[in-house]
Structure formats: structure tokens, C-alpha cells
Amino acid sequence: MKQKQRGTALLRAFLGVVLGMLGPATLLWAQPPQVVAVRAGRLFDPMSGTLIRNQIVLIQGERIVELGPADRIKVPAGAEEIDLSQATVLPGLIDAHSHLFLTGEFGSRYDEELLKESWQYRTIEAVVNAKKDLDAGFTTMRDLGSHGAMYSDVDLRNAINKGLVPGPRLQVATLAMSTTGGFRLSGYSPEVTVPSGVQIVDSPDGARLGVREQIKYGADVIKIYANDRSHITADGKLVSYPTFTLDEVRAIVDEAHRQGVKVACHAYGGESLRNCVDASVDSIEHGLDLDEASAEKMAAKNIYLVPTFYIYDWGLRDQDLQATGGKFSRADIHQRTFPLALAHGIKIAFGTDVGPFPHGTQAVEFEYLVRSGMKPVEALRSATIVAAALMGWQDRVGSIEPGKLADLVAVSGDPLADITELERTKFVMKGGEVVRNELK
């Protein structure tokens, strides 16, 4: 017995010496993260599409642990409390179509970025853009193409995940894909070697190789440009020229799906869109000039639509009106055909194409969705549970539920009554950490 007591005493002494050498901070490592209690005056539930009043969200670490009425939830002693009782709290917003490596306007700015700015400089710009988008309430994003910056978007995603720089949690598409002559840069002398904004593939085998390369170097999603050149005829019809053949698109989709990766397809109407739908891509990006047959197939195949209305009004309407004598624009064609998607019950995911227009301003897209026929509640769902499902992240983001990541935003008013409230985000939390709070 005495020998056992001596051994115990020696062990305690040894532990005391070790802990003394390591310091008091070591003892904190074993402590659970502090609980944060968010008091929400109104809380948007995308499942029911309603605002629930007087809720408390309990957060520990980066995840939500409990949610319920304020008169039922017991806030633990010592918890940090955040008072949003005069605000509307929503899940962190999701932008399913963004370009963090674009910082400029349409036209010559694109050439300048690829020809005059290094990948390193453009990555610095992307870090700044990511912070702007996060501050605007977008805690999750799909970045659909680095536009000539190679795999720099993978590095940005990883740096954000490691906490080195602030930004939304990302899925990235790396290079994106098109065909020879199907994407910029173009118009230069054949003697001049210029960079490309995408990876060029020109056959089914080349397409498979491209998918494998992009996944090898970190792509979370494959992005393809199924059309590039387009124009509006004298009678107002949109004509777009396909890049890939159906066999090439099928090879891309088959190879990506074999490896558990989704495919996003930039397409207008006509053959380019039909090829992507027939090949069973996961999402159609833009989807201008949608036709009845394609809409029916998209609904049957559960293919999402990411419409990106604002960019066609912001940057392209004037160009189109100038080219058509002030008569027609892609923005008007898009709004005219979009009701087909609603009528067929196609899942609409929120995406903006931010990059050509300034980062941090993309919440204006909500207003365009409502203007184009969506109810405010459906527009909010498009940027929460629907976009989360498109990304395959419905188990972690998109709603405020126990077990999910504590991504929250808040606005002063009621976005179901005035959707433009999302353009005036006052509070942002990502993974339990407050990014911005103007409601103190």
C-alpha cells in the first residue's frame, strides 16, 4: 500500500512539474469552447418559409447546439450574449456563382487582368474580394473559374479554411473549360502567344483528361462554357453558338460524376443548353432563352438553374441596346423566358456572377429575382437551403439548426416585406465568429 501511495505521489509531482513548465494556457486546451447565445427578435426558417419570433440560438465553437423560444432555452451561466432582439436573423447567405479573381469591368479590363497582372497580384485582389463578400453576408460561395489565375482559387480556399485570411467557405472550379476559339483571350495576332481564361479541351478524351487534371489539383466543381459567341437578331431572337459537342459534354459529366464532382454549365438557349441538359449536368448557369422542352427536362432531371439576372442589366444591357438600335437586350430575353423555370418547378439557386461588377454588392440580385417572378420567401430559400443542396452542403449550411455551422446574418427590417433589406446587412457571423456587427 505504501509503495502504491509513493507511486501516486510521484506521478502527481511529475504532472505538477510538467504543467508548471507548459504554463496555465495548457489547462485551457481541455476546456470546451465558450457558449454564445444569440437572441433573435425574428428568425427566418427557410424550411417553413416563416419568421419565428423571440428565439435563442446557442452556439458552441463553430456549430449551433440548440435553438428554441426564449422562454424555453436556458442560457448557460457565463455565456456570451449577442442581442439581435430588434433584428431579423437569417442563415448565412450563399452565392452559388461568383468570380473572386475578377475585379473590373467588361471589355478591355479582362485582357488587362490576364496580360498585365500576375497570379500573385490577382490572388491578393481575390483575398480582398472575399472579405468584401463575407462582410456583405455571403458566408458560403461557389467560385466558378479563376479566369487565367490557374489553381490560385484552391490556395485561397485553403487559406480561408485554415484561418489565414477571412472569407466565405468556398467551393472552387479552378480553370473552367472551353474549346479552341471558344473563349477569351481572342483577337490577337496568331504570332502572339496569349494566356487563356480557361482550360482548352477539344475532344471527349481531352475533356476527360481536363476533368481529371482539375480534380487532381483541387477542383470541387467542374465549370464548362457551353457557348461563347452570341448575338441578337433584327427581330429580337438570341442566337448563341455552342462550343462543345454533346459527346464532349457527356464525357465531362461522366468523368466528373465518376469522381463525385458536380458540373456547372454556362449556357444560353439553343444547342448549347440542350447539350448540357441532355448530358445531365448539375446546374445551368444563366439559362437565358430557356425553352419549354429544356425546362421540362431540367425539372425531370433535377437540374438546378442559377439565373444571375443583375449582371445582364448592370453590364450588358447598354451593349445590347447599342447593337440592336435600342430595341432588344439579353436582360429582357432572360426575364421573358425565366417564368418557364418557375412554371416547371425547376430549383432556383441564388448566384450573381459577381466579379465584373463590384464584390460585396451582389445582394441586389434578390431584388431582381423578385422582379422576375419569385416570391421573397423563394428568393431567400434560393440563397439558403436550395443553394446549399446544389453544393451538397445541406448538412452544414443553409438553415439555422442544431449541428449545423453557426453562419448567421441579420438585417434591421423584414426581408419578406422588403427584399432589399438584404442589401443592408448589419450583422455577420461565420462559424461562430462575429465578422461584423453594426447592431450593438
Q: Is 305 inside a domain boundary? A: yes
pTM above the 0.75 mark? yes
- For residues 245 and 251, give the distance between their C-alpha atoms in angstroms, rounded to a whole number: 10
> Tell me, what's the pLDDT at 16?
54
> Tell me, what's the pLDDT at 31?
74
- For residues 142 and 93, give the distance between their C-alpha atoms in angstroms, rounded to a whole number: 12
Q: Is 199 inside a domain boundary? A: yes
Q: Are residues 257 and 209 in the same domain?
A: yes
Q: Are residues 99 and 87 in the same domain?
A: no
Q: Are residues 55 and 158 in the same domain?
A: no
Going from the C-alpha of 306 to that of each of 309, 349, 382, 419, the distances in angstroms are 9, 5, 9, 18
Neighbours of 416 (CB within 10 A): 18
Tell me the per-residue pLDDT of 322-341, one tens digit each, with 9 for 90 and over: 999 999 999 999 999 999 99
Contact 287, 240 (CB under 8 A): no
Strand positions, DSSP E, 355-440 = 408-411, 427-430, 433-437
Q: Are residues 286 and 427 in the same domain?
A: no
Q: Are residues 48 and 180 in the same domain?
A: no
> Tell me, what's the pLDDT at 42?
98
Sequence letter at residue 433: E
Q: Is 330 inside a domain boundary? A: yes
Instruction: Give the strand pairing for 80-91 and 138-143.
Output: unpaired
Q: Is 12 inside a domain boundary? A: no
- For residues 369 and 386, give the distance between their C-alpha atoms in angstroms, rounded to a whole number: 14
C-alpha grid cell for residue 210? 481536363
Question: Which ranges of the chain have pLDDT less than 70?
Answer: 1-30, 105-108
Q: Which of 380, 372, 364 is nearest to 417 (CA)?
A: 380
> Tell me, what's the pLDDT at 107?
57
Q: Are residues 146 and 76 in the same domain?
A: no
Q: Is 296 inside a domain boundary? A: yes
The residue range of the domain holding 336 is: 93-360
Contact 172, 219 (CB under 8 A): yes
Q: Are residues 108 and 80 in the same domain?
A: no
Tell me the per-residue pLDDT of 142-184, one tens digit each, with 9 for 90 and over: 999 999 999 999 999 999 999 999 999 999 999 999 999 999 9
C-alpha grid cell for residue 311? 449582371
Q: Are residues 46 and 139 in the same domain?
A: no
What DSSP line would sit under 274-314, residue for residue? Answer: HHHHHTT-SEEEE-TT--HHHHHHHHHHT-EEE---HHIII
- For residues 219 and 177, give the distance between their C-alpha atoms in angstroms, rounded to a whole number: 12
Q: Is 10 inside a domain boundary? A: no
Assign residue 57 the CATH number of its domain. Answer: 2.30.40.10
> Tell me, what's the pLDDT at 440?
79
> Tell me, what's the pLDDT at 104?
76
